[in-house]
């Protein structure tokens, strides 16, 4: 069975422009995913830590949503500028980035 | 932080029809995802156990690929006919469906 050390899912769900919930794609989900993949590749980590697209993760009100497994840590309102910190501190260092956590237990 | 008891990702990646790797979408990934979502909803489990689209999970040679977190159990060549067994035995019962496991440690 293939194993990743960590597996990161970035919501890139797209909704019509006038949808009241908005969507992670419009908020920059694709750019976050691309930056994450690029950073993991740059560090030679893409075989151990995989970044993937995901459909709607049902946290639309929190902005671009990212979930990290196996620990199921949820990040909200993630931007491209947050990617290096997530990689360095959490995906490599094992310590979640506190300031980006989705805190409510929906 | 929101928590799912289990989070299931189904690859629905799409490649051009002549791509040598093929893709999970052409092999029925969307139908598997739909069946999984429908079965979870029917059982009233969709709040605790979430099924999501995923991009390429890098297991293309194994047919439609499904990964279940937090335990990171990988299934290959999944069809709509396998969905009830995955839900009943694994997602509810906690025991992976042995015959569908991807066995090689890529």
Q: What is the 3-state secondary structure (H, E, C) of A27-68?
A: CCHHHHHHHHHHHHHHCCCCCCEEEEEECCCCCHHHCCCEEE
Measured over the CA atoms of residue A54, residue A60, residue A63 and residue A67, the dihedral's sign is negative
- Nearest CA to CA, how far is A58 from chain B (Å)? 9
Residue of B nearest to A49 (CA): B57
Beta-carbon separation of B1 and A73 below 8 A: yes
Q: Which one is predicted more confidently, B21 or A9?
A: A9
Residue of B nearest to A33 (CA): B55
Mean pLDDT by 10 residues, chain A (106 residues): 86 87 86 96 95 89 93 95 98 97 74
* Residue B83 DSSP symbol: H
Task: Give the whole-angstrom CA distance, residue B24 versus residue B14.
Answer: 7
- Which helix (H) or strand (E) covers residue B73, if one does? strand B73-75
Task: Give the whole-angstrom CA distance, residue B97 versus residue B66.
Answer: 12
Beta-carbon separation of B1 and A103 below 8 A: yes
pTM for the full model? 0.91
Task: Give the whole-angstrom CA distance, residue B51 versus residue B83.
Answer: 11
Residue B12's alpha-carbon distances to A55, B1, B26, B44, B95, in angstroms, are 10, 27, 8, 24, 25
Residue B100: which residues within 8 A CB-CB, separation 6 or more? B75, B76, B77, B78, B82, B86
Residue B97, SS3? coil
Complex ipTM value: 0.89
∠ CA B74-A87-A60, rounded to 5°: 70
Whether the pLDDT of residue B105 is over 60: the answer is no
Burial of B3 (0-12, 13-18, 19+ CB in 10 A): exposed
Smallest Cβ distance to B102: which of A2, A101, A103?
A2
Beta-carbon separation of A55 and B52 below 8 A: yes
Smallest Cβ distance to A9: which of B9, B73, B102?
B9
pLDDT of residue B2: 59
pLDDT of residue A26: 83
Smallest Cβ distance to A9: which of B54, B104, B105?
B54
Residues of B in contact with A10 (CB under 8 A): none
Residues of B in contact with A102 (CB under 8 A): 1-2
Residues of A in contact with B105 (CB under 8 A): 1-3
Predicted confidence (pLDDT) per residue in B53-94, tens digit: 999 888 888 889 999 999 999 999 999 999 999 999 999 999
Task: Give the whole-angstrom CA distance, residue A93 versus residue B37.
Answer: 35
Average pLDDT, chain B: 91
In this structure, how many other beta carbons lie within 10 angstroms of the beta carbon of residue A104?
A: 12
Task: Give the whole-angstrom CA distance, residue A76 versus residue A64.
Answer: 6
pLDDT of residue B28: 87
Residues of B in contact with A58 (CB under 8 A): 2, 50
pLDDT of residue A78: 96
């Amino acid at each position: 069975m293939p194993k990743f050390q960590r597996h990161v899912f970035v919501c890139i769900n797209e909704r019509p422009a006038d949808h009241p919930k908005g969507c992670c794609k419009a908020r920059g989900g694709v750019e976050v995913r691309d930056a994450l993949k690029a950073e993991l590749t740059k560090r030679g980590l893409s075989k151990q830590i995989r970044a993937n697209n995901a459909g709607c993760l049902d946290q639309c009100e929190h902005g671009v949503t990212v979930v990290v497994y196996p620990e199921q840590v949820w990040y909200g309102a993630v931007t491209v500028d947050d990617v290096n910190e997530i990689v360095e501190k959490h995906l490599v260092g094992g310590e979640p980035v506190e300031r980006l956590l989705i805190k409510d237990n929906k």
